[in-house]
Each structure stands twice: as structure tokens, then as C-alpha cells.
């Protein structure tokens, strides 16, 4: 019983971090119909930026977010203006190809600068832990979860409590109508893409503190992030949160109760069952647009 | 060693295409560094190496070893009086790309000799290609049981012992302990990998037969990246010994960090890989927490083996850093060159048929010690156990290699 309890606690805390990483992906899809398969590489870029600041300037990884979030926002803006905006037809399909190219470029640059040796972000809270009932939880899991909740709440408030957020939601609902009422859709898309990418900075920092990583870690990561947003419903922030928590809890509990061999399988069986009933995911696009 | 996801595999195809072009144009096609009096055209040595993908860390270390050896040979008059030139391609850690690479090396580049890539996974298809064309295949890595089951007559695994027996020395040491001090319970966590799992299974079989009860055994699929549940489960058993089957450093690092977080202090921890990765390992788990952790090795920087001092000074001059930074892969690759050099010199030719016969017949010196092979290319020596002590790794068992005695039990985490 202790083990199941421990697995649930770890699953919830890790799930929150995955939700943060997936939220950028789902936000961009919701607004732009773009599947940014480069999000995994951007998360790893965020992890490396935090790592470099910690190694060279001894900057606390959470403090470093004050630099890395704006930096990745700019990276996102540049990618959108230089590449995504130029896709006039078949945006969804072509976006997969071009963002994949972006991922390869990022991977190549990271390999050049950091090599492929595995690294890990270090801080006092990474390995120190505190008891939660019968198990110990490292502070980084708790801090990472709190960061995820705060950023997701801020994102929600931005979308639902600001005028610009209203513009974003209008664009989600009907791009043409939004243009007709005077919303600068191109600007909305640029900023949305920038926000989506900037979330990778936060997700990457926590990911890099929990796991060892190298430039190719992006591939395993993007597979999981895509699964999360498909289960949650592409375009739904709340869906990403629920799906991430569900995925990590199912995998962790299956691992400790049964075997890691079955952990992924059990989750994918559930995913297939859900998609058979609701092809658009649990909180699919229709639900999002009603929000 | 993680199996690439579908997306990862496809991406590596794209990436490998780009890298192949880059490597061919930029690096591989360039002749190796040193100039020496050459009687005839350079001897072309071809190999595939993982410069991207899951094995890229090991692949780059292997490339370092091959390059060091080639530079050394060229600065000492070459091989058979001719310069050595390395030709290599990136296989992107892909089992299909590695076959393409060796086919191209043999049929298009017409290399004289072939050296091996990293991992059992890539070595099997690569050796099959080399056998088809009658080439001897000297491999620095990839000595899992699956390779020897193929009965490749042209295959030679240039490490002291077959991979499956890497932890046997450790079990021998453990069983020398008086029963009252010996661990009574053990937890085994291994990646489902043809390199790591056989090592763990062999150790588990031996220890179980001698009364060390296996209280946790789990095989982790290679695509899994979250190892926290396994750390939690192993800690929950309070096993006194932990054996980790990790083909790369990631599982070892994740479990050790997980154990620290759970305040779980086994009396002994040994991993098939990870603690042998020098600074990569010590930085990831914290230098003070490396104390007492063990790993089987075939090479040690302080060993009085053939040309070991020369190898180390060449490494430090070329790549800088410290001896602790030298990955095991690098001397293993260097040894491949040394063995090939001695065999070729002995037969005085590049005839691969004669070379295969000589490699089966002779004993060769290397930085890992003497090498002898049976009919399936199995090395006939044994690996030794290295332990982290005061921030460095030192051989601790068996006695003929030991510099210090084993620190047991391992100190608690800091």
C-alpha cells in the first residue's frame, strides 16, 4: 500500500510538470492549428539554458527562469515570424515538417555546444527530500509542481481575464470573424507561439533537474507530450493537465504494482479505449471552444 | 540503451543523412593527422560510429579511441610502412543504418580493414555484413551473448571477458565475505538490453545459488525514461545489495539519485555501466555520493598494461581534461587498433582470411591487457571490479588487479 501511495504522489507531481511542458503545445494547436513537434527540442533547449546558467553563473534554476522564459519567448517569436507565418496552405501538415526541421537544428546546435554527454541540473532541492507519509519526495518534485500550477493558472488568467486573451480565444473560435472585428490575428499568433515556446523554458528547467538529459532526450519527450495532448484533447489546456496527471499516475502505479514492462502498455490501452469513444480526446476541441 | 521511439527513429534517419554528408565531407574523408614516410597508398580502415542517437555518447568516445590509435600508428611509421586512414560514417544508433554504412565502406570505399561500432544491437548486423564480404571484424563493444550465438567466425570482441561474465568477479568477491557480513538480500533492476540484462542475470543466478535472496527483480523496457517507480520499489524492499543493469549511465544515475531521495542505503551497489563514465557520473550523482559504488571494468588508467602510459598521455594531450574523464569506450577502441596492428604486422599482409586465422591463433597485447579469442571470438580473460574511492575509481578485485581492498559496506549518502 505504501508503494502505491508513493507512486500516486510521484505521479501527480511529475504529471504537473508534464502538463506544463504539454500546455505550450496544446495552446499553439488551439490557436494556430499548428502541431509543434519541435516542442520537445525546445524543452531540452530550456533545460540546457538553465543548466548553463547554473554551471557558469551559479544562478539558481528557478531564478534563471527570469532570463530563460523571455529568451525562449523571443525564440518562439522568431520561429513564428521566420517560418510558421509563411505557411499559407496545409498549415497543419506542413507545420509538422517545419517544426521537425526546427527540432533537428536545435538538436544539432545543442550537440555542438554541449556534446551528447548526459547532464543534470543541480541545486540543493534536487536530491534533498522530505517525508510524505511513508515515502520521501524530493523538493524538486514539489517545487516543480507548484511552478506548473502557478504558470498554468497565470496562463489561464491571461487567456480569460485580459483583453489580449480574449483576442486569442476569439481567434481560436473563428479566425475570419476575429479578423473582421479588428483583431490583429497575425500578432495574436506570433505572441501565442512565443508564449507556447516560453513555457518550454519552465518545463525544461524542471525536467532537467528531475532527469539526466542530452540533446536527443527531445525525441522521447515529444512522443509523450503528443500523447498527452491527444488524450486530453488537442487545444485544451485543462485536458493537457488531466491527461498528464492520468498518464503519469497510471504508469507509476502499474510500474510498482505490476512491472515497468506493462506500465506503458496499460496507459496506451486506456488511451485507445478513450479515443474509440471520443476521437477528439477527453476535452477535445469542441469543449475548448465552449470555454 | 533506450530503444528509439518511432518518431526518434524516423528523425534519426533524417539526421543521419545530414550527418553522413557532413562527416564524409568534413572529417572522415580527411586523412588522419600525422605524416609519416609512406610506402604505397594509405591503408583504409572503415567503421561505423554512433555520433547521433541513443549511443552518441559512447560513439564519440569510441571515435576518440580509434583516432588516437591511428595518430599513434602514423607517428610511429604507419602500418606495414603505410599510413593509416580512417573512414567512418554516423549510424545514428540505427540497426539498419549500420548495415548500410558497412556495405558502403566495403563495396564503395573499398576499405582494407573493418572495426566495430558500439553496442551488441549494432554489432550483430554489422558483423553479418563484414562476414558476407570475408572481412575480419574487431569490435570494441557489443559482446553480449546474442553476438556469440551467431557463431561469427570473423568476429573478435576486444575486451577482457564476454559481457555476460562482467559481474562474475563481483560475485566471487561477495562470496569471499564471511556469511555474517555478506548481504542476504538483493534487488536487481535492469534495462531490457542484450548487453546489460545477461550480466545481471548471470550475477543473480550465481548469488541466488549461494543464498543471497532476490527480493526485487525487474526488467525495464528500453523506451522507459522515468525510473522513479523502480527506485521507490527497490528502496521499499530494503535489499542489502543492489545490482543495476544499465547499458548507459542514465538508469544508474536515476536509481542512485532515487535511492538518495528515499534515504535508502544498501550495503553495496554495483552497476554494469554508469559509474565508469567519469565526470558525467560524478557530476550527476554528486562526487561525495560516488563513494563505494562499483562497476566492472576492463581497463584502468593506472594499470601496467601494454602502452597504457602512452595511451593516457596521448589522450590528455589531444583531448585534455583528466584521466577520470576517459570513458571506458576509448581504451576499448584503442585496443581494437592495437590488436589489429599486431596481427597485421605478424602476417605481413592485409589479407582478411589470413588475418582471421591469425586472430584466432595468437595472443595480442593491449591497454586492457593480453587478448586471446576462442572460435566464436570470445575473449579469454576476465574483467575486474573498480570502486569509487575519494573521488576516483580504483581496482579493488581480484587481487592481481587490486590497488585497494573493497570498501564494504558502502558509506551512507551525504
* CATH value at residue B111: 3.40.50.2300
Q: Which residues of B touch A221 (CB under 8 A)?
A: 225
What are the CA-CA distances from residue B152 to residues B155, B349, B356 (Å)?
A: 5, 22, 11
DSSP letter assigned to residue B82: B
Residues B52 and B175 in one domain: no
Confidence of residue A93 (pLDDT cuts 50, 70, 90): confident
Residue B87 in contact with residue B46, Cβ under 8 Å?
A: yes
Q: Judge if B170 and B273 occupy the same domain.
A: yes
Confidence (pTM)? 0.78
Q: Does one domain contain both B98 and B112? A: yes
Which residues make beta-bridge pairs with B45?
B86, B113
Are both B48 and B169 inside the same structural domain? no
Q: Which of A111, A208, A212, A224 to mutate to test the interface with B (most CBs of B within 10 A)?
A: A212
Asked if B10 and B125 sit in the same domain, the reply is: yes
3-state DSSP assignment of residue A63:
helix
Q: How far is B193 from chain A (nearest CA, A)?
A: 13
Q: What was the pLDDT predicted at A79?
A: 93
User: How many domains does chain B contain in total?
Assistant: 2
Would you say residue B370 lies in a domain? Answer: no
Range list of β-strands (E), chain A: 129-132, 135-138
Q: Are residues B146 and B259 in the same domain?
A: no
pLDDT in tens, A227-243: 898 888 887 888 889 99
pLDDT at position B178: 94
Q: What are phi and psi of B4, to 5 degrees?
A: -65, 145
Q: Quick one: B55 and B148 in the same domain?
A: yes
- Domain for residue B406, yes or no? no
Q: Which residues of B touch A7 (CB under 8 A)?
A: 229, 232
- CB atoms A118 and B230 under 8 Å: no
Distance CA(A212)–CA(B1), nearest Å, equals 14
CA triplet B146, B150, B152: central angle to 5 degrees?
A: 125
A66, burial (CB in 10 Å: exposed 0-12, middle 13-18, buried 19+): exposed
| B376 domain residue, yes or no | no
pLDDT digits 0-9 by tens, A103-146: 999 998 998 888 878 889 999 998 889 988 878 889 999 999 99
Q: A223 to chain B: which residues are within 8 Å by CB?
A: 5-8
- In this structure, are B156 and B16 located in the same domain? yes
In a domain, B235, yes or no: yes
> Is there a contact between B226 and A138 if contact means CB atoms under 8 Å apart?
no
Residue in A7, A108, A219 nearest the CB of B7? A219
**For residue A127, what pLDDT is reported?**
84
Comparing alpha-carbon positions, the chain B residue that sits nearest to A135 is: B262
User: Within this chain, do residues B10 and B147 fall inside the same structural domain, yes or no?
Assistant: yes
Residue B134 distance to chain A (closest CA, Å): 34
Q: Which domain holds residue B18?
A: 6-163+304-361
Same domain, B241 and B175: yes
Averaged pLDDT in 10-residue chunks for chain B of 414 residues:
38 43 39 49 95 83 96 95 96 90 95 93 92 95 84 92 90 94 96 89 96 95 86 94 91 94 95 88 91 93 90 94 85 96 96 96 94 92 90 89 92 91
Q: Is B5 on the interface with A (CB under 8 A)?
A: yes
Residue B143 inside a domain? The answer is yes
Residue B405 within a domain? no
ipTM of model:
0.82
Q: Chain B, 245-304: which have a CB under 8 Å from a chain A CB?
A: 248-250, 253-254, 257, 260-263, 280, 283-284, 286
What residues does each domain of chain A span?
17-232
Q: Do B11 and A219 touch (CB under 8 A)?
A: yes
The answer to whether residues B196 and B255 belong to one domain is yes
- Domain co-membership, B40 together with B62: yes
Amino acid at each position: 500500500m505504501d508503494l502505491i501511495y508513493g507512486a500516486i504522489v510521484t505521479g501527480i507531481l511529475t504529471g504537473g510538470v508534464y502538463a506544463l511542458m504539454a500546455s505550450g503545445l496544446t495552446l499553439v494547436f488551439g490557436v494556430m492549428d499548428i502541431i509543434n513537434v519541435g516542442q520537445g527540442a525546445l524543452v531540452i533547449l530550456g533545460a540546457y539554458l538553465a543548466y548553463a546558467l547554473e554551471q557558469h553563473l551559479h544562478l539558481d534554476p528557478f531564478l534563471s527562469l527570469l532570463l530563460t522564459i523571455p529568451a525562449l519567448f523571443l525564440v518562439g517569436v522568431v520561429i513564428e515570424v521566420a517560418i510558421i507565418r509563411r505557411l499559407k496552405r496545409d498549415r497543419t501538415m506542413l507545420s509538422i515538417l517545419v517544426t521537425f526541421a526546427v527540432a533537428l537544428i536545435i538538436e544539432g546546435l545543442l550537440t555542438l555546444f554541449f556534446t551528447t554527454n548526459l547532464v543534470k541540473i543541480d541545486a540543493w532541492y534536487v536530491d534533498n527530500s522530505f517525508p510524505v507519509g511513508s515515502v520521501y519526495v524530493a523538493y524538486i518534485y514539489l517545487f516543480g509542481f507548484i511552478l506548473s500550477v502557478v504558470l498554468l493558472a497565470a496562463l489561464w488568467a491571461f487567456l480569460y481575464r485580459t483583453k489580449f486573451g480574449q483576442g486569442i480565444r476569439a481567434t481560436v473560435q473563428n479566425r475570419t470573424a476575429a479578423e473582421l472585428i479588428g483583431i490583429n490575428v497575425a500578432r495574436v499568433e506570433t505572441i501565442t507561439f512565443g508564449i507556447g515556446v516560453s513555457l518550454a523554458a519552465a518545463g525544461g528547467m524542471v525536467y532537467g533537474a528531475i532527469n539526466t538529459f542530452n540533446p536527443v532526450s527531445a525525441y522521447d519527450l515529444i512522443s509523450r507530450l503528443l500523447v498527452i495532448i491527444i488524450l486530453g484533447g488537442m487545444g485544451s489546456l485543462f485536458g493537457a493537465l488531466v491527461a498528464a496527471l492520468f498518464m503519469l499516475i497510471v504508469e507509476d502505479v502499474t510500474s510498482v504494482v505490476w512491472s515497468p514492462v506493462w506500465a506503458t502498455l496499460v496507459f496506451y490501452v486506456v488511451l485507445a479505449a478513450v479515443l474509440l469513444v471520443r476521437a477528439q480526446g477527453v476535452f477535445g476541441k469542441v469543449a475548448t471552444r465552449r470555454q | 540503451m533506450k530503444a528509439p521511439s518511432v518518431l526518434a527513429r524516423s528523425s534519426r534517419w533524417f539526421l543521419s543523412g545530414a550527418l553522413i554528408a557532413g562527416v564524409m565531407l568534413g572529417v572522415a574523408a580527411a586523412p588522419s593527422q600525422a605524416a609519416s614516410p609512406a610506402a604505397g597508398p594509405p591503408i583504409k580502415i572503415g567503421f561505423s560510429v554512433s555520433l547521433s542517437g541513443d549511443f552518441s555518447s559512447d560513439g564519440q568516445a569510441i571515435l576518440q579511441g580509434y583516432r588516437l590509435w591511428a595518430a599513434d600508428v602514423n607517428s610511429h611509421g604507419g602500418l606495414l610502412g603505410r599510413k593509416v586512414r580512417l573512414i567512418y560514417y554516423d549510424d545514428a544508433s540505427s540497426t539498419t543504418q549500420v548495415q548500410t554504412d558497412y556495405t558502403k565502406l566495403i563495396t564503395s570505399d573499398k576499405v582494407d580493414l573493418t572495426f566495430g561500432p558500439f553496442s551488441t544491437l549494432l554489432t550483430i548486423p554489422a558483423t553479418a555484413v563484414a562476414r558476407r564480404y570475408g572481412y575480419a571484424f574487431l569490435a570494441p563493444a557489443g559482446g553480449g551473448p546474442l553476438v556469440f550465438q551467431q557463431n561469427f567466425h570473423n568476429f573478435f570482441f576486444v575486451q577482457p571477458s564476454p559481457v555476460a561474465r562482467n559481474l562474475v568477479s563481483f560475485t566471487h568477491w561477495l562470496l569471499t565475505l564471511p556469511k555474517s557480513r555478506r548481504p542476504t538480500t538483493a534487488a536487481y533492476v535492469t534495462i531490457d538490453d542484450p548487453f546489460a540484462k545477461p550480466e545481471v542475470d548471470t550475477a543473480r543466478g550465481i548469488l541466488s545459488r549461494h543464498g543471497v535472496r532476490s527480493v526485487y527483480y525487474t526488467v525495464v523496457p528500453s523506451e522507459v525514461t522515468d525510473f522513479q517507480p523502480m527506485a521507490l520499489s527497490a528502496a521499499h524492499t530494503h535489499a542489502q545489495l543492489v545490482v543495476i543493469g544499465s547499458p548507459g549511465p542514465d538508469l544508474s544515475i536515476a536509481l542512485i539519485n532515487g535511492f538518495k531521495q528515499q534515504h535508502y542505503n544498501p550495503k553495496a551497489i554495483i552497476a554494469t555501466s554508469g559509474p565508469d563514465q567519469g565526470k558525467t557520473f560524478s557530476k550527476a550523482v554528486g562526487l561525495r555520493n560516488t563513494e563505494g559504488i562499483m562497476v566492472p571494468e576492463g581497463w584502468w588508467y593506472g594499470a601496467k598494461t601494454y602502452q597504457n602510459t602512452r595511451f593516457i598521455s596521448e589522450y590528455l594531450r589531444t583531448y585534455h581534461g583528466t584521466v577520470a574523464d576517459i570513458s571506458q569506450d576509448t581504451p576499448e577502441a584503442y585496443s581494437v587498433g592495437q590488436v589489429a596492428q599486431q596481427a597485421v604486422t605478424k602476417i605481413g599482409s592485409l589479407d582478411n582470411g589470413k588475418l582471421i586465422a591469425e586472430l584466432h591463433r595468437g595472443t595480442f597485447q593491449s591497454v586492457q591487457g593480453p587478448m586471446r579469442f576462442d572460435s566464436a571470438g570470445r575473449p579469454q580473460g576476465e574483467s575486474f571490479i573498480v570502486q569509487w574511492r575519494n573521488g576516483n575509481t580504483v581496482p579493488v578485485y581480484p587481487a592481481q588487479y587490486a590497488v585497494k581492498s573493497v570498501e564494504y559496506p558502502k558509506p551512507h549518502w551525504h
